[in-house]
Amino acid sequence: MIKELKLVNFRNFKEKIINNFEIENFIIWENWKWKTNILEALSQLWNNSITKLNLDDLVNLWEDYFFIEIKDENDNKYSFYYSKKDNKKNYLINNKKSTKKEFREFAHSCVIFSPIMMNMIYLSPTLRRDFLDDTLKSSYHEYEKLLKDYKKIIKSRNSTLKAIHENKIKENEIIFWDKKFIEIAWEIYKYRFKFIKFLEESIINTKEYFGNKVENITFEYKTKIDRNDIENSIKFYLEKNFKRDIILGRTHIWPHVDDFEIKTDWVSLIHYASRWETKSIIIYLKLLEGIFIEKKTGKKPILIIDDLLSELDENHKDMLLKKINYYQTFISNIYEQENTFYIKI
Ligand SMILES: Nc1ncnc2c1ncn2[C@@H]1O[C@H](COP(=O)(O)OP(=O)(O)OP(=O)(O)O)[C@@H](O)[C@H]1O
Ligand SMILES: [Mg+2]
């Protein structure tokens, strides 16, 4: 559990210490008062980001580095230092330089709840795929590197396609990249399907949030890949799309064109859900993210809830607050709740 947070040159903060954290922490402040900045600092330490900004933008405008440090209940210190000048990141444990891997043993993962995540239901499939990939990154250390390598291979395959199109090289040059692509896409799918299977099995529990209104809820992963024969189905689509891929210079079959949808009584929630249904399902998906991470890492993630409570009606607020008291939680809010612990800044 974290007891204290120290910020130096982070966003608006020149130097700030916030301490005496409990299990559930409400960061209370009026509007436009740096609550998100505090939660962003926590999410950065936990290898995530609420704002998805570059690290450079998180450095105070008049400085060239930031430093974030937390103290756990045994007074161990975990610090993250970033320098804008040379793009350097340093991780420290008890003031000694450590590797990112050692650092992640403690600050391993966080689950972020924010109003933006509603777009996961309303907007593009990219956000839905990010949800799957972010959960997998938090659950398996090796997944982040796998995704990076995968993107590099896609880039190389696409450049090879373009070179073939411009008659600079022969068609059979693609064989090397196809093989590499199949190997890595297969690895990615192996991880993806673990989380998908968990979601398919667990989504039915959302029924409690819909009262007696629905009979059935299903999670459906939309892919052309055959789960029982991943390798051959990727191969099949690569061959089938080869001519089109050459003309367009892009790879058309890959884990990053997949999507998912959630159906209640066989009606798709993506695009059709009411605001109420969207909030319910999203809160539950994020809770499932936390449960999956805990199952796979054996460690509890922290929960970071930014600006969401003011979006929720009493019913949803209750639903969320009842479920989360099992994790250490940081919630920004402009209003005080009853019987809760506050961090007033
Ligand atoms: N790099 C930076 N350097 C200095 N100040 C910054 C930097 N980045 C952001 N800020 C300041 O932080 C402010 C935003 O703070 P933040 O988003 O945390 O507010 P908030 O309390 O979450 O507000 P709301 O209740 O509206 O969500 C900006 O108005 C800006 O003044
Ligand atoms: Mg905010």
Q: For each of the domains in the chain, give its residue range(s) and CATH number, in order of start.
A: 2-108+299-344 (3.40.50.300), 124-268 (1.20.1050.90)
Taking the centre of ligand 1 as the mean of its atom positions, its distance from the CA of residue 35, in whole angstroms, is: 8
Cβ–Cβ under 8 Å, residues 43 and 110: yes
Establish whether residue 12 lines the binding site of ligand 1, counting it when its CB lies within 6 angstroms of any ligand atom.
Answer: yes
Task: Summarize pLDDT for 60-111 with one digit per residue, the tens.
Answer: 999 999 999 999 999 999 999 999 999 999 999 999 999 998 998 889 899 9
> Can you tell me the distance from the alpha carbon of 247 to that of 171, in angstroms, rounded to the nearest whole number?
12
**Closest residue CA from atom 11 of ligand 1:** 12
How many C-alpha atoms does 105 have within 13 Å on its Cβ side? 8
> Can you tell me the distance from the alpha carbon of 286 to that of 116, in angstroms, rounded to the nearest whole number?
13
Mutate to test the pocket of ligand 1, among 7, 26, 36 (most ligand atoms within 8 A of CB): 36
* Measured torsion, CA atoms of residues 328, 333, 336, 338, in degrees rounded to the nearest 10: -40
For residue 127, pLDDT over 70 is answered with yes
Establish whether residue 266 lines the binding site of ligand 1, counting it when its CB lies within 6 angstroms of any ligand atom.
Answer: no
Confidence grade of residue 291 (pLDDT, cut at 50, 70, 90)? very high
Give the pairing type, strands 217-222 and 110-113: unpaired
**Closest residue CA from atom 16 of ligand 1:** 34
- Structure pTM? 0.89
Distances (CA, A) of 303 to 144, 265, 289, 320: 20, 31, 11, 11
For residue 169, pLDDT over 80 is answered with yes
Averaged confidence pLDDT in the chain: 89
Neighbours of 142 (CB within 10 A): 11
Task: Summarize pLDDT for 235-248 with one digit per residue, the tens.
Answer: 999 999 999 999 99
For residue 211, pLDDT over 90 is answered with no
> Can you tell me the distance from the alpha carbon of 305 to that of 174, in angstroms, rounded to the nearest whole number?
46
> Can you tell me the distance from the alpha carbon of 316 to that of 279, in angstroms, rounded to the nearest whole number?
8
Identity of residue 11 = R
Taking the centre of ligand 1 as the mean of its atom positions, its distance from the CA of residue 46, in whole angstroms, is: 20
Structure tokens at 46: 């936990």
Confidence grade of residue 20 (pLDDT, cut at 50, 70, 90)? confident
Distances (CA, A) of 337 to 13, 25, 318: 26, 11, 11
What is 268-325 written as a DSSP string?
E-TTT--HHHHHHHHHHHHHHHHHHHHHHHSSPPEEEE-S-GGGS-HHHHHHHHHHHT
Establish whether residue 11 lines the binding site of ligand 1, counting it when its CB lies within 6 angstroms of any ligand atom.
Answer: yes
Taking the centre of ligand 1 as the mean of its atom positions, its distance from the CA of residue 190, in whole angstroms, is: 40
Residue 334 is predicted with a pLDDT of 65
Closest ligand to the CA of 334: 1
Taking the centre of ligand 1 as the mean of its atom positions, its distance from the CA of residue 25, in whole angstroms, is: 20
Residue 30 is predicted with a pLDDT of 59
Residue 308 is predicted with a pLDDT of 82
Taking the centre of ligand 2 as the mean of its atom positions, its distance from the CA of residue 326, in whole angstroms, is: 24
Establish whether residue 40 lines the binding site of ligand 1, counting it when its CB lies within 6 angstroms of any ligand atom.
Answer: no
Task: Summarize pLDDT for 320-337 with one digit per residue, the tens.
Answer: 888 887 899 998 876 655
For residue 339, pLDDT over 60 is answered with no
**Closest residue CA from atom 19 of ligand 1:** 34
Establish whether residue 65 lines the binding site of ligand 1, counting it when its CB lies within 6 angstroms of any ligand atom.
Answer: no
Percent of the chain scoring above 70 in pLDDT: 94
Distances (CA, A) of 340 to 321, 330, 335: 11, 12, 12
